[in-house]
Chain A
Amino acid sequence: MTKLKTEALRKSFGELEVLKGLDLEVKEGEVVVIIGPSGSGKSTFLRCMNLLEEVSDGRVIVDDFDLTDPKQDINKIRQNVGMVFQQFNLFPHLSVMDNITMAPKQLKDLSGEDARTLAMRLLDSVGMSDKADAYPSSLSGGQKQRVAIARALAMEPDIMLFDEPTSALDPEMVGEVLAVMKKLAEDGMTMVVVTHEMGFAREMADRVIFMDEGNIVEEGRPEQLFGNPQNERTRDFLDKIL
């Protein structure tokens, strides 16, 4: 069953067209990894999937709801699409606990008690339960990103979008975040991941998408795309980074 679909998606910043008509379909439980050189439009593409970036043309459909329809209640759909950012974007004025419970309390009318229980369960699953009362400024990058994942999961979304989740981390912290993502994938979460971690793509992706200059150049199973790339630009890119 299709969870998320883009149809002829275009995005321009002024004169500059950064997404040139992208079609993508993500099935339930599928893990799609988007790779490509910087400036290829992969982050913009991801940000269009929950309309953080306004779409210039084309459609974004999540669970049969058209996000680009102006009458659509975008907040309702976003509750179902979690997002994790490169810079974590934890709320610095709130404790780890409040970072996680704020949205469910606001949007799901969860009692303080229930929200706390939910948050503790999520913190436990990302290995951060001992930091519930800490403030973000006292956490390491890896810890921040794990809390950010727990925060996104607190709305119990069906789809998770990851925008270069390990790019701002010191190398020794990349592993702990990838491990959390791996567990999510194994639990059947539908995921779209923009990353430079080829190891993760190779191991966890059901499908890898290579983007360049606003186009999807090539896509396929990881062993196929990494082992036997068909397009010259894909080969160039992989030669440079592997």
Chain B
Amino acid sequence: MNTNMKRVTVFGLLLLTAMLFTSTMSPLKGHAEEDTYLIATDVTFAPFEFQNEDGDYVGIDIELLAAIAEDQGFEYELAPMNFSAGLQALEANQVDGMIAAMGITPEREESFDFSNPYFESGPVMAVRDDDEDISSYEDLDGKTLAVKVGTTGAEFAAELAEEYDIEISQFEDSATMYEDVLAGHSDGAIEDYPVMAYAIQQGLDLRFPEEPELGDEYGFAVNLGQNQELLEMFNAGLANVLEDGTYEEIVERYLGDSSEVAPRAGFFGLLQANFGPLMTGLGRTLVLTLVSFAIALVAGTVIGLFSATPSKVLNVIADIYVTILRGIPLIVLAFFMYFTVPQLFGIQITAFTAGIITLSLNTTAYIAEQVRGGLAAVDKGQLEAARSLGLPYGVSMQKVVLPQAVKIMIPSLINQFVITLKDTSILSVIGIVELTQTGRIIIARSYQSGAMWIIVGLMYLVIITLLTKLSNMIERRLIAND
């Protein structure tokens, strides 16, 4: 078997594996059927929504939604994502509704239609248990407050900041915010009272120096003017579950004195208890990487060849592509794909698809540059010799120049593969539960960020080391043929 055949075989195998994985693991399926609603929720907001150790979503919001759906007889699918991402997804009609302990505020009512309120709450400030400095809001002068992006807590902190000299740190999820306080970076955190109370009950070393603020009511939201029938069903169902006592049961389960306290596991206990979800997250990270890299390898080669041709038009196309895609940060591109593109073209696209597209587009730009460099590194006498035999340009590139360029490119391609793998973690912002996001979700229920980030880091390290060794083996095989 010659070199080319081997390369094609290896490539084909990678692609096949990737396809098999995607077909079984797509987390968001969008509208599976006509009457299945896609409902956004936060990933990490215990006790309203969080994943239990079996990987199922639980919490007050989740159970309330389930009870109402059963009462009203509608089908739905959950789309967990960061709170601010959820708001954007709802605005972009990527989801039909959102239940995420969302306070009904005048600003939000400009963009969304809310159900009747289903929970009363208000923001509260928490500080470290051993922090003696802060006993009231006045003591916050010169201190730092942690808040979650887009929450009523954040608004309240902004009001406080007008009165006192406070620096505000913004976070994407509650668990990270607590960790920031525990680690001593921030002096206090503002969060809805029931959420924080639940966290403290679960063993977090925080305390409340002040009483909770009043006046925040949670509601279920749909996009303004959209899905009104869903909103009506929610209201009707809410009235029923309030009446028959289901509502009280649910709230009692999470906030009552009898609610269970999760045991704090050690490093290995944490790993053992969460091994399943972590491996699923790792699997999804690998699928994202392999599929995106395979697509980028093909597209990048094409764009790279564009920049190597004598055609000025193709040169310019390649140049524009690389300039734009290399110039946009991955996280911005991910938001653009998932939120802006559907609004512009009126289409629905799953987070996983948006993630794959984002990563492919980005990686394509880098691979195109590597292909261009690889082609330029092949002696130009090679192309001349092929052309002098009468071989057309395309065949000459394919049979003579490209195979040699690939060999030159392999080390940088391996490097790019590692970068792409690590970049998948950025896709967690649009709700893809890959390895990093899995870690966050586990922290949100276990409140053990220290051990968890070591576990997640080690998993990346192990998988990248293994894949690099494998790539180096393939590289040696290819070069041994010369």
Contacts and interface: CB of A to CB of B under 8 A. Distances in A.
Given A102-B399, A135-B482, A137-B482, A91 B382 contact: yes
A151 B89 CA distance: 62
B385 A89 contact: yes
B389 A93 contact: no
28 contacts: A52-B387, A52-B388, A75-B387, A75-B392, A77-B390, A78-B389, A81-B388, A82-B388, A83-B385, A85-B381, A87-B379, A87-B381, A89-B379, A91-B385, A91-B400, A92-B404, A93-B3, A93-B403, A93-B404, A102-B391, A103-B386, A103-B390, A103-B391, A106-B395, A135-B482, A137-B482, A152-B388, A155-B389
Interface pairs A-B: 3 shortest CB-CB? A79-B390, A89-B385, A83-B388
Contacts of B390: 75-80, 103, 107, 155
A50 interface: yes
B165 interface: no
Contact of A78 (B379, B382, B388, B407): B388
Contacts of A90: 385
Contacts of A77: 390
A52 B384 contact: yes
Contacts of A91: 382, 385-386, 400, 404
A16 B345 CA distance: 54
A181 to B, nearest CB: 17
Interface in B447-482: 481-482
Given A93-B404, A102-B391, 8 more contacts: A52-B384, A80-B390, A87-B381, A93-B3, A135-B481, A148-B385, A152-B388, A155-B389
Nearest to B385: A89
Interface size, B (range): 20 to 34
A50 B111 CA distance: 69
B391 A93 contact: no
B312 to A, nearest CB: 15
A91 B396 CA distance: 11
A92 B409 CA distance: 16
Interface in B1-31: 2-3
A134 to B, nearest CB: 11
A78 B403 CA distance: 23
A93 B389 CA distance: 17
A68 B481 CA distance: 41
A175 to B, nearest CB: 24
Nearest to A135: B482
B85 to A, nearest CB: 48
A76 B389 CA distance: 9
A97 B384 CA distance: 19
B162 to A, nearest CB: 68
Interface string A148-159: 100110010000
B399 A106 contact: yes
B387 A78 contact: yes
Contacts of B392: 75
A141 to B, nearest CB: 14
B469 to A, nearest CB: 24
Interface in B103-140: none
Interface string B395-415: 100011001100100000000
Contacts of B391: 75, 102-103, 106-107
Q: In the complex, which of the residues A89, A93, A152 has the most CB atoms of chain B within 10 Å of its own CB atom?
A: A93
Q: In the complex, which of the residues B379, B390, B395 has the most CB atoms of chain A within 10 Å of its own CB atom?
A: B390
A71 to B, nearest CB: 16
A152 B384 CA distance: 12
A225 B224 CA distance: 95
B75 to A, nearest CB: 57
A98 B400 CA distance: 11
A103 B389 contact: yes
Nearest to B403: A93
Nearest to B388: A83
Contact of B381 (A80, A81, A89): A89
Contact of A152 (B379, B389, B482): B389
Interface in B66-111: none
Contacts of B379: 87, 89
B387 A79 contact: no
A129 B3 CA distance: 23
Nearest to A104: B389
B143 to A, nearest CB: 65
Contacts of B2: 98
A217 to B, nearest CB: 28
Contacts of B384: 52, 85, 89
Nearest to A87: B381
Given A78-B389, A135-B482, A93 B407 contact: yes
B401 to A, nearest CB: 10
A85 B3 contact: no
A151 B400 CA distance: 14
A106 B481 CA distance: 22
A233 B353 CA distance: 73
A85 B481 CA distance: 25
Contacts of A106: 391, 395, 399
B482 A79 contact: no
B81 to A, nearest CB: 48
Contacts of A137: 482
Interface in A104-152: 106-107, 135, 137, 148, 151-152
Contacts of A92: 404, 482
Contacts of B382: 89, 91
Q: In the complex, which of the residues A90, A92, A135, A152 has the most CB atoms of chain B within 10 Å of its own CB atom?
A: A92
Contacts of B395: 106
A142 to B, nearest CB: 18
B455 to A, nearest CB: 44
Given A93-B3, A93-B404, A85 B385 contact: yes
Contacts of B388: 50, 52, 78, 81-83, 152
A225 B126 CA distance: 102
